[in-house]
Structure 1
Amino acid sequence: MGRGDLSDQEWARLEPHLPTNVGRGGRWKSHRRVINGILFRQRTGIPWRDLPARFGKWKTVHDRHRRWSGDGTWEKILRAVQADADADVTAYRARACEAACLDRHHTCCQTRAVCDEGGMIARAY
């Protein structure tokens, strides 16, 4: 894995939202390698033809990027990943509120922190 490539954690969040090979004439090459190639090209600004060989054929990377841009796949992936991130934040806030409310007497007396309806911890002064 090169510098700037998707980490295993990033890939695990992204992979479920990617298109599958179902109904296509041929098998797609590794989505991860192709996406890393797209990200490399976006990050460096190099021409498609100068894409390093470790990302596969430049034409494959270019065509997948062009296809996904045209058919709305990138927008669908973005919305799905944003929804996952929002769910993570909501769960984190709920856990933080629950932890503060478990020891409400100590929390309220010592730090004056109280849970609001949105699940966040607010300071009441």
Structure 2
Amino acid sequence: MKPEDIALNELCMFEFYIPQSDKPILADLSLPLEEGARPLTQELKNKVAGLINLSTTWYPLAVKRIKDEFNGDVDLRLVGLNILTDETQKEFIFGLNFDVSKDEEHGRGLQMSFPSFEIIKHGDAEASMFLDY
């Protein structure tokens, strides 16, 4: 993905694809952009595009964490990427939201730090959406 490919809709979201999925994934940048109160900077576009381009690193880590929870016996699909911090913060945090066959109602979510890709939070899908301050 190129930074110039990021075109936000009115909700500060856009769809993208990664090699690990044949379905579109919805990226949400509303939190760092405060739902339209702040502009989308080139630096944030660069960071988000770079993160998406590194899916071969973070995707397998996320899938392993969720599969470990279900002893490997689960089908899952990445449906959302939530950018939780902006480009000015030292630690860039993003959330991943998965549909999972073993918990269709709640799904699974996790937060990771970029560029270390350390999993810092895991739980139902809501875990991917909000920072704990």
Give the TM-score normalised by structure 1: 0.27
- Point out the structure with the larger strand share: 2
Give the TM-score normalised by structure 2: 0.26
Larger Rg: 1
- Point out the structure with the larger helix share: 1
